[in-house]
């Protein structure tokens, strides 16, 4: 069951974050190579950081390249669709932004679960902090790299309690899925919580307090 859940979440998160990263890169005017690079890094960046921290060298994405290929293929498809409809991009910008938020939320939820699960599978179940922290890093890491590459402030630091949604999802999965052993129930609850918070935060402009 765990292997199947990891695979499903990995595929779901990869596709979702590849779409999100590609949309951001296209909006910033990057060429085909730039779009594929940003889209792929958005999808695999968090997982690479997680694997390095837990000592998985080389990271899984390089030993099992199916995920890397899936990310590249997804980014390429999104680029082609955007290129064909390039004259309508400005008119569709609001819908594109909404679509980007949705896919970003799905990727965040899926990778938060994956991060916790992979960390625990590597033998760190009893370390309460590490699986949760790496759940968040897996969820937000690719997005941070994406924002740096397109020369924007990392989204998690300025908008919509982004990392908080991942943190809550990671905590829920660790408690329900790992500690109580209900992987499927934990996955469903975690994903729903993360996506709901992420979408509501975007819709109602929920932000953490700022000094300025």
Could you read off the pLDDT of 86-136 as tens digits, one per residue? 887 777 778 888 888 999 999 999 999 999 999 999 999 999 999 999 999
Strand (E) or helix (H) holding 80: helix 66-84
Per-residue confidence (pLDDT) for residue 4, from 0 to 100: 87
Residue 209 lies in a domain: no
Higher pLDDT, 212 or 197: 197
Per-residue confidence (pLDDT) for residue 97, from 0 to 100: 86
Asked if the model's pLDDT at residue 191 lies above 90, the reply is: yes
Q: Provide CB contacts within 8 A for 168, sequence distance 6+.
A: 193, 194, 197
| Unique residue bearing structure tokens 């990869």 | 14
Q: Provide CB contacts within 8 A for 110, sequence distance 6+.
A: 9, 10, 12, 13, 16, 191
Residue 148 lies in a domain: yes
Residue 19 lies in a domain: yes
Asked if the model's pLDDT at residue 192 lies above 80, the reply is: yes
Residue 132 lies in a domain: yes
Per-residue confidence (pLDDT) for residue 61, from 0 to 100: 93
Residue 56 lies in a domain: yes
Residue 157 lies in a domain: yes
Per-residue confidence (pLDDT) for residue 211, from 0 to 100: 82
Q: Give the count of domains, the chain.
A: 1
Residue 135: give the domain boundaries: 2-204
Q: What percent of the chain has pLDDT over 90?
A: 76
Distance of CA 12 to the CA centre of its chain: 9
pTM of the model: 0.93
């Amino acid at each position: 069951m765990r292997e199947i859940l990891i695979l499903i979440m990995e595929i779901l998160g990869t596709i979702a974050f590849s779409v999100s990263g590609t949309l951001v890169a296209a909006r910033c005017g990057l060429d085909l190579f730039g779009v594929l690079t940003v889209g792929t890094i958005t999808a695999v960046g968090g997982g690479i950081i997680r694997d390095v921290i837990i000592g998985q060298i080389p990271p899984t994405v390089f030993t099992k390249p199916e995920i890397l290929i899936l990310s590249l293929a997804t980014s390429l498809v999104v680029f082609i669709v955007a290129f064909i409809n390039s004259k309508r991009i400005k008119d569709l910008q609001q819908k594109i932004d909404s679509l980007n938020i949705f896919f970003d939320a799905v990727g965040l939820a899926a990778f938060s679960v994956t991060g916790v699960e992979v960390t625990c599978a590597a033998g760190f179940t009893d370390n309460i902090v590490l699986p949760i922290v790496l759940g968040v890093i897996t969820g937000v890491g690719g997005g941070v790299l994406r924002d740096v590459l397109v020369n924007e402030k990392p989204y998690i630091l300025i908008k919509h309690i982004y990392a908080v949604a991942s943190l809550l999802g990671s905590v829920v999965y660790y408690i329900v899925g790992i500690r109580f052993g209900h992987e499927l129930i934990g996955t469903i609850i975690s994903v729903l919580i993360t996506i709901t918070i992420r979408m509501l935060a975007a819709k109602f402009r929920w932000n953490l307090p700022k000094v300025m």
